[in-house]
Amino acid sequence: MSRKLIRYSMQIAMLKQLLALSLITEKEFTLIKNKTMKEYDVVSDLTS
């Protein structure tokens, strides 16, 4: 697994924690996740 993909996975995991703790809204989660996916060149999200 590339370092880039590991960093992406860690960022998404942290984002999911923020959502679970209600520190961000579902809309904010989606916006940040989509931006992060573009930033890391991730085409699909199989975890949704």
Domain count, the chain: 1
Q: Has residue 47 been placed in a domain?
A: no
Residue 48 lies in a domain: no
- pLDDT, tens digit, 9 for 90 and up, residues 3-32: 999 999 999 999 999 999 999 999 999 999
Has residue 22 been placed in a domain?
Answer: yes
User: Among all chains, which residue has been given the structure tokens 């579902």?
Assistant: 26
**pTM for this predicted structure:** 0.83
Instruction: Look up the domain containing 27 and give its range.
Output: 3-39
Distances (CA, A) of 47 to 3, 9, 11, 15: 19, 11, 14, 13
pLDDT of residue 46 exceeding 90, the answer is no
19: three-class secondary structure by DSSP: helix
In a domain? residue 30: yes
Tell whether 14 is covered by a domain: yes
Output the CA–CA distances (angstroms, integers) from residue 48 to 16, 24, in the order listed: 11, 17
46: its two tokens = 């199989």
